[in-house]
Structure 1
Amino acid sequence: MSVGKLSNADLNHFIIDEIKPQRSDILIRPGVGEDCAAIKFGEYACVVTTDPITGATEELGKLAVHVSVNDIASSGAEPVALLMTLLCPEDTALESIQQIVVDANKAANAMNIEIIGGHTEMTNAVNRIVVSVTAFGSTRAEDIIMTGGAKSGDYLYMTKYAGLEGTAIIAKEKEEILKDYLTKNEIQDAQSFIEQISVLREGEIGKHLKVSAMHDVTEGGVLGAIYEMCEASKVGCKVYNNKFAIHELTQKICEHFNINPLKLISSGSMLMSVDKDVAPAYEQAMIEAEIPYSKIGVLTEEMDRILIFGEEADEEIFDVIEPPVEDELYTVV
Structure 2
Amino acid sequence: MSKDKVIRMEHGAGGETMQALIREVILDNITSRSAGLVGLDNLDDGATINIASTIANNKNSDEIVITTDSHVIKPAFFPNSNIGRLAVSGTVNDLAVMGAAPLALTCAIVVPEGFELDSFEQIIRSMNETAEEVGVPIITGDTKTIERNGLDSIIINTTGIGIADEVIRDCGMCPGDRIILTGTIGDHGISLLAHREGFDLTTDLVSDVAPLWNMIRSVIPIRTIEGRPAISAMKDPTRGGLAGALNEMAQKSGTGIIIEQKDLPIKRSVSSACEMLGIDPLEVANEGKAVICVKAEHAEEVLSIIREHEYGKDAAIIGEATDENSRKVLMRTTIGSMRYVDTPTGDLIPRIC
Give the TM bin, normalised by the shorter chain: 0.7 to 0.9
Asked whether the 8 Å contact 1:227–1:324 carries over to 2, the reply is no
Asked whether the 8 Å contact 1:260–1:328 carries over to 2, the reply is no
Q: Is residue 260 from structure 1 mapped to residue 283 from structure 2 by the alignment? A: no
Paired residue secondary structure (1:329): coil
Distance 1:87 1:326, change over 3 A: farther
Paired residue secondary structure (1:207): coil
Paired residue secondary structure (2:333): coil
1:90 corresponds to: 113
Aligned ranges 1:4-153 → 2 under 5 Å: 44-56=62-74, 57-58=76-77, 59-124=82-147, 125-140=150-165, 143-153=166-176
Paired residue secondary structure (2:246): helix
CA distance in 2, matches of 1:308, 1:54: 32
1:32 corresponds to: none
Q: After the TM superposition, which of the residue ranges 65-74 and 44-53 deviates more from structure 2?
A: 44-53
Distance 1:295 1:327, change over 3 A: farther
Aligned ranges 1:315-326 → 2 under 5 Å: 317-326=337-346
Q: Is residue 197 from structure 1 mapped to residue 210 from structure 2 by the alignment? A: yes
Asked whether the 8 Å contact 2:219–2:305 carries over to 1, the reply is no
What one-letter code is carried by the residue in structure 1 that aligns with 2:73?
A: G
Asked whether the 8 Å contact 1:206–1:214 carries over to 2, the reply is no
Distance 1:288 1:62, change over 3 A: closer
1:159-213 deviations in Å (ceiling 9; x for gaps) = 1111122133234324x431xx31xxx2xx312x44x533224421331223111
2:46 corresponds to: none
Which residue of 220, 226, 249 corresponds with 1:207? 220
Q: Is residue 233 from structure 1 mapped to residue 246 from structure 2 by the alignment? A: no
Q: Alpha-carbon deviation of 1:78?
A: 1.0
Q: Which runs of 5+ in 1 are unaligned?
A: 1-40
Residue-pair matches, total: 278
Distance 1:304 1:233, change over 3 A: closer
Identity of aligned residues (%): 26
Q: Alpha-carbon deviation of 1:241?
A: 2.3
Distance 1:171 1:144, change over 3 A: same
Asked whether the 8 Å contact 1:75–1:203 carries over to 2, the reply is no
Cα-Cα RMSD: 2.5
Distance 1:53 1:256, change over 3 A: farther
Aligned ranges 1:249-288 → 2 under 5 Å: 249-288=269-308
Asked whether the 8 Å contact 1:306–1:318 carries over to 2, the reply is no
1:263-308 deviations in Å (ceiling 9; x for gaps) = 0001111101111121132123234446221221111223152333
Q: Which runs of 5+ in 2 are unaligned?
A: 1-54, 223-228
Q: Alpha-carbon deviation of 1:44?
A: 1.6
Which of these two proteins has the greater Rg computed from alpha carbons? 2
What one-letter code is carried by the residue in structure 2 that aligns with 1:279?
A: A
Which residue of 134, 149, 159 corresponds with 2:182? 159
Q: Alpha-carbon deviation of 1:145?
A: 1.1
CA distance in 2, matches of 1:113, 1:332: 24
1:297 corresponds to: 319
1:236-256 deviations in Å (ceiling 9; x for gaps) = 211222221111121132233
1:29 corresponds to: none
Q: TM-score, normalised by structure 2?
A: 0.72
Q: Alpha-carbon deviation of 1:114?
A: 0.9
Q: Alpha-carbon deviation of 1:232?
A: 2.2
1:242 corresponds to: 262
CA distance in 2, matches of 1:50, 1:168: 25
